[in-house]
Amino acid sequence: MDNNSQNFKIRLGLFVVGGLALFVISIFIIGKQKNLFNPVFKLTSNFYNVSGLQVGNNIRFSGINIGTIDNISIINDSTVKVDMLIKQEVKPFIKSDSEAAIGSEGLIGDKLLIITQGSSEANIATEGQQLTSKEPVETDEIMASLQVTAGNVEIISQELAEIMVKINGGEGTLGRLIQDTTIAQNLNQTIVNLKRSSKGLDENMEAAKHNFLFRGYFKRKAKAAEQKASDEKK
Protein backbone atom coordinates (compact mmCIF):
# COMPACT_ATOMS: atom_id res chain seq x y z
CA MET A 1 0.00 0.00 0.00
CA ASP A 2 2.83 2.36 0.89
CA ASN A 3 4.52 1.77 -2.46
CA ASN A 4 1.23 2.30 -4.36
CA SER A 5 0.54 5.49 -2.41
CA GLN A 6 4.03 6.78 -3.05
CA ASN A 7 3.78 6.02 -6.81
CA PHE A 8 0.41 7.77 -6.95
CA LYS A 9 1.86 10.88 -5.29
CA ILE A 10 4.79 10.88 -7.71
CA ARG A 11 2.47 10.60 -10.73
CA LEU A 12 0.22 13.29 -9.28
CA GLY A 13 3.20 15.59 -8.74
CA LEU A 14 4.46 15.02 -12.26
CA PHE A 15 1.00 15.70 -13.63
CA VAL A 16 0.72 18.96 -11.66
CA VAL A 17 4.21 20.09 -12.70
CA GLY A 18 3.50 19.25 -16.36
CA GLY A 19 0.18 21.07 -16.22
CA LEU A 20 1.81 24.16 -14.71
CA ALA A 21 4.55 24.06 -17.36
CA LEU A 22 1.98 23.86 -20.16
CA PHE A 23 0.01 26.71 -18.55
CA VAL A 24 3.09 28.93 -18.31
CA ILE A 25 4.09 28.15 -21.91
CA SER A 26 0.56 28.86 -23.13
CA ILE A 27 0.46 32.17 -21.27
CA PHE A 28 3.83 33.10 -22.75
CA ILE A 29 2.77 32.22 -26.31
CA ILE A 30 -0.58 33.98 -26.04
CA GLY A 31 1.01 36.97 -24.34
CA LYS A 32 3.61 37.22 -27.07
CA GLN A 33 0.95 37.05 -29.78
CA LYS A 34 -1.14 39.66 -27.98
CA ASN A 35 1.92 41.82 -27.24
CA LEU A 36 1.23 41.60 -23.50
CA PHE A 37 4.94 41.60 -22.69
CA ASN A 38 5.95 44.36 -25.14
CA PRO A 39 5.33 48.11 -24.86
CA VAL A 40 2.58 49.03 -27.31
CA PHE A 41 0.54 51.99 -28.47
CA LYS A 42 -2.97 52.10 -29.86
CA LEU A 43 -4.33 53.14 -33.24
CA THR A 44 -7.86 52.93 -34.62
CA SER A 45 -9.55 52.86 -38.01
CA ASN A 46 -13.15 52.75 -39.20
CA PHE A 47 -14.48 50.46 -41.90
CA TYR A 48 -17.80 49.92 -43.59
CA ASN A 49 -17.12 46.18 -43.78
CA VAL A 50 -14.28 44.34 -41.98
CA SER A 51 -14.63 41.34 -44.31
CA GLY A 52 -14.15 38.64 -41.65
CA LEU A 53 -11.39 40.36 -39.67
CA GLN A 54 -11.28 39.06 -36.08
CA VAL A 55 -9.81 40.08 -32.74
CA GLY A 56 -6.28 38.69 -32.44
CA ASN A 57 -5.52 38.80 -36.18
CA ASN A 58 -2.12 40.16 -37.17
CA ILE A 59 -1.27 43.67 -38.28
CA ARG A 60 1.45 44.07 -40.90
CA PHE A 61 3.63 46.95 -41.99
CA SER A 62 6.03 46.50 -44.93
CA GLY A 63 5.39 42.74 -44.77
CA ILE A 64 6.31 42.45 -41.05
CA ASN A 65 3.94 41.59 -38.21
CA ILE A 66 3.91 44.63 -35.92
CA GLY A 67 0.83 44.09 -33.79
CA THR A 68 -2.60 42.55 -33.38
CA ILE A 69 -6.26 43.52 -33.52
CA ASP A 70 -7.35 44.44 -29.98
CA ASN A 71 -11.05 45.04 -30.46
CA ILE A 72 -13.75 45.28 -33.13
CA SER A 73 -16.93 47.17 -32.35
CA ILE A 74 -19.95 48.34 -34.34
CA ILE A 75 -20.40 52.11 -34.12
CA ASN A 76 -23.52 52.38 -36.29
CA ASP A 77 -25.15 50.69 -39.27
CA SER A 78 -22.38 51.83 -41.62
CA THR A 79 -19.28 52.01 -39.41
CA VAL A 80 -17.18 49.34 -37.70
CA LYS A 81 -14.34 50.51 -35.46
CA VAL A 82 -11.13 48.47 -35.33
CA ASP A 83 -8.72 49.02 -32.41
CA MET A 84 -5.09 48.09 -32.98
CA LEU A 85 -2.19 47.36 -30.64
CA ILE A 86 1.11 48.26 -32.31
CA LYS A 87 4.61 47.59 -31.02
CA GLN A 88 6.16 50.75 -29.65
CA GLU A 89 9.40 50.10 -31.53
CA VAL A 90 7.76 50.65 -34.94
CA LYS A 91 5.95 53.84 -33.97
CA PRO A 92 8.53 56.14 -35.66
CA PHE A 93 7.78 54.50 -39.02
CA ILE A 94 3.98 54.88 -38.98
CA LYS A 95 2.94 58.30 -40.23
CA SER A 96 -0.24 60.25 -39.73
CA ASP A 97 -1.20 59.81 -43.39
CA SER A 98 -0.67 56.02 -43.37
CA GLU A 99 -3.72 53.99 -44.37
CA ALA A 100 -5.21 50.78 -43.00
CA ALA A 101 -6.42 48.09 -45.40
CA ILE A 102 -7.76 44.57 -44.86
CA GLY A 103 -5.91 41.77 -46.59
CA SER A 104 -5.52 38.03 -46.18
CA GLU A 105 -2.85 35.37 -45.71
CA GLY A 106 -2.91 34.12 -49.29
CA LEU A 107 -6.11 33.41 -51.20
CA ILE A 108 -7.97 31.55 -48.44
CA GLY A 109 -5.91 32.40 -45.36
CA ASP A 110 -6.84 34.37 -42.24
CA LYS A 111 -7.64 38.05 -42.57
CA LEU A 112 -5.12 40.62 -41.42
CA LEU A 113 -4.77 44.38 -41.29
CA ILE A 114 -2.15 46.06 -43.46
CA ILE A 115 -0.81 49.53 -42.63
CA THR A 116 0.68 51.32 -45.62
CA GLN A 117 3.73 53.55 -45.55
CA GLY A 118 2.99 57.23 -45.26
CA SER A 119 4.82 60.16 -46.80
CA SER A 120 8.20 61.19 -45.45
CA GLU A 121 6.94 64.73 -44.78
CA ALA A 122 4.04 63.62 -42.56
CA ASN A 123 4.19 63.58 -38.76
CA ILE A 124 4.50 60.37 -36.75
CA ALA A 125 1.16 58.83 -35.77
CA THR A 126 0.15 59.65 -32.21
CA GLU A 127 -1.41 57.48 -29.50
CA GLY A 128 -5.04 56.66 -30.32
CA GLN A 129 -4.96 58.30 -33.75
CA GLN A 130 -7.51 57.18 -36.33
CA LEU A 131 -5.97 56.09 -39.61
CA THR A 132 -7.73 56.46 -42.94
CA SER A 133 -9.11 53.13 -44.13
CA LYS A 134 -9.35 51.40 -47.49
CA GLU A 135 -12.42 49.25 -47.98
CA PRO A 136 -11.58 45.63 -48.91
CA VAL A 137 -12.59 44.06 -52.20
CA GLU A 138 -14.99 41.21 -51.44
CA THR A 139 -14.29 37.76 -52.86
CA ASP A 140 -17.92 37.53 -53.99
CA GLU A 141 -17.49 40.69 -56.06
CA ILE A 142 -14.34 39.29 -57.67
CA MET A 143 -16.09 36.03 -58.51
CA ALA A 144 -19.08 37.90 -59.95
CA SER A 145 -16.76 39.97 -62.14
CA LEU A 146 -14.97 36.84 -63.33
CA GLN A 147 -18.30 35.21 -64.17
CA VAL A 148 -19.31 38.24 -66.26
CA THR A 149 -15.96 38.15 -68.07
CA ALA A 150 -16.27 34.42 -68.69
CA GLY A 151 -19.79 34.95 -70.07
CA ASN A 152 -18.55 37.64 -72.45
CA VAL A 153 -15.73 35.39 -73.65
CA GLU A 154 -18.21 32.59 -74.27
CA ILE A 155 -20.46 34.89 -76.32
CA ILE A 156 -17.51 36.14 -78.40
CA SER A 157 -16.32 32.56 -78.99
CA GLN A 158 -19.78 31.51 -80.20
CA GLU A 159 -20.01 34.49 -82.55
CA LEU A 160 -16.55 33.76 -83.98
CA ALA A 161 -17.52 30.13 -84.50
CA GLU A 162 -20.69 31.22 -86.34
CA ILE A 163 -18.67 33.57 -88.54
CA MET A 164 -16.18 30.83 -89.42
CA VAL A 165 -19.00 28.44 -90.27
CA LYS A 166 -20.53 31.03 -92.61
CA ILE A 167 -17.15 31.72 -94.25
CA ASN A 168 -16.53 28.01 -94.76
CA GLY A 169 -20.03 27.74 -96.24
CA GLY A 170 -19.32 30.51 -98.74
CA GLU A 171 -21.67 33.04 -97.14
CA GLY A 172 -20.85 36.74 -97.17
CA THR A 173 -18.27 38.62 -99.22
CA LEU A 174 -15.27 36.97 -97.56
CA GLY A 175 -16.86 33.53 -97.83
CA ARG A 176 -17.61 33.97 -101.55
CA LEU A 177 -14.10 35.32 -102.10
CA ILE A 178 -12.59 32.22 -100.53
CA GLN A 179 -14.97 29.62 -101.94
CA ASP A 180 -15.83 31.04 -105.39
CA THR A 181 -13.00 30.38 -107.86
CA THR A 182 -14.51 32.76 -110.41
CA ILE A 183 -14.05 35.75 -108.11
CA ALA A 184 -10.46 34.69 -107.41
CA GLN A 185 -9.78 34.41 -111.15
CA ASN A 186 -11.29 37.84 -111.75
CA LEU A 187 -9.05 39.33 -109.08
CA ASN A 188 -6.01 37.70 -110.64
CA GLN A 189 -7.01 39.04 -114.06
CA THR A 190 -7.50 42.53 -112.60
CA ILE A 191 -4.00 42.44 -111.14
CA VAL A 192 -2.58 41.33 -114.47
CA ASN A 193 -4.41 44.17 -116.24
CA LEU A 194 -3.05 46.69 -113.74
CA LYS A 195 0.49 45.45 -114.36
CA ARG A 196 -0.04 45.77 -118.13
CA SER A 197 -1.47 49.27 -117.74
CA SER A 198 1.50 50.28 -115.62
CA LYS A 199 3.94 48.88 -118.17
CA GLY A 200 2.12 50.69 -120.99
CA LEU A 201 2.22 53.96 -119.06
CA ASP A 202 5.97 53.61 -118.57
CA GLU A 203 6.41 53.02 -122.31
CA ASN A 204 4.28 56.09 -123.15
CA MET A 205 6.34 58.24 -120.79
CA GLU A 206 9.58 57.02 -122.37
CA ALA A 207 8.20 57.83 -125.84
CA ALA A 208 7.13 61.29 -124.70
CA LYS A 209 10.68 62.03 -123.56
CA HIS A 210 11.92 61.58 -127.13
CA ASN A 211 9.11 63.59 -128.71
CA PHE A 212 10.38 67.00 -129.86
CA LEU A 213 7.29 68.68 -128.36
CA PHE A 214 8.12 67.47 -124.81
CA ARG A 215 11.90 67.14 -125.15
CA GLY A 216 12.56 70.61 -123.77
CA TYR A 217 10.30 70.02 -120.75
CA PHE A 218 12.06 66.81 -119.75
CA LYS A 219 15.50 68.38 -120.24
CA ARG A 220 14.60 71.30 -117.98
CA LYS A 221 13.25 68.88 -115.41
CA ALA A 222 16.44 66.76 -115.53
CA LYS A 223 18.62 69.87 -115.27
CA ALA A 224 16.63 71.08 -112.23
CA ALA A 225 17.08 67.68 -110.56
CA GLU A 226 20.84 67.79 -111.19
CA GLN A 227 21.06 71.30 -109.76
CA LYS A 228 19.15 70.27 -106.66
CA ALA A 229 21.45 67.27 -106.13
CA SER A 230 24.48 69.52 -106.54
CA ASP A 231 23.15 72.01 -104.00
CA GLU A 232 22.50 69.25 -101.48
CA LYS A 233 26.10 68.00 -101.83
CA LYS A 234 27.38 71.48 -101.07
Whether residues 201 and 129 share a domain: the answer is no
The predicted model gives 10-21 an average pLDDT of 74
Q: How many domains does one find in the chain?
A: 2
Q: Which of 18-22, 80-84, 173-177, 188-192 has the highest mean pLDDT?
A: 80-84
Flag whether 200 is in a domain: yes
Whether residues 39 and 131 share a domain: the answer is yes
Confidence label for 131 from pLDDT (cuts 50, 70 and 90): very high
Q: Please list the residues that pair with 99 across neighbouring strands.
A: 132
Q: How big is the chain by its Cα radius of gyration, in Å?
A: 42
Whether residues 115 and 186 share a domain: the answer is no
Statement: residue 206 has pLDDT above 60: yes
Q: Domain span at residue 207?
A: 180-227
DSSP structure string for 165-197? HHHHTT-HHHHHHHH-HHHHHHHHHHHHHHHHH
Find the Cα–Cα–Cα–Cα dihedral 219, 221, 222, 226, rounded to 10°. 130
Flag whether 170 is in a domain: no
Flag whether 114 is in a domain: yes
Higher pLDDT, 207 or 96: 96
Burial 72-89 (b: 16+ CB within 10 A, else e): eeeeeeeebbbebbbbee
Predicted local distance difference test score (pLDDT) of residue 152: 80
Whether residues 123 and 45 share a domain: the answer is yes
Flag whether 90 is in a domain: yes
Predicted local distance difference test score (pLDDT) of residue 85: 92
Whether residues 132 and 38 share a domain: the answer is yes
Whether residues 126 and 211 share a domain: the answer is no
Flag whether 73 is in a domain: yes
Confidence label for 103 from pLDDT (cuts 50, 70 and 90): confident
Statement: residue 54 has pLDDT above 80: yes
Q: What is the mean pLDDT of the chain?
A: 76
Flag whether 158 is in a domain: no
Predicted local distance difference test score (pLDDT) of residue 147: 75
Whether residues 43 and 107 share a domain: the answer is yes
Inter-residue contact 70 to 83 (CB < 8 Å): yes
Flag whether 205 is in a domain: yes
Statement: residue 32 has pLDDT above 60: no
Whether residues 121 and 185 share a domain: the answer is no
The rounded distance, in Å, linking the Cα atoms of 64 and 30 is 19
Whether residues 59 and 119 share a domain: the answer is yes
The rounded distance, in Å, linking the Cα atoms of 46 and 129 is 11
Last residue of a domain, one of 136, 159, 192: 136
The rounded distance, in Å, linking the Cα atoms of 51 and 150 is 25
The rounded distance, in Å, linking the Cα atoms of 154 and 157 is 5
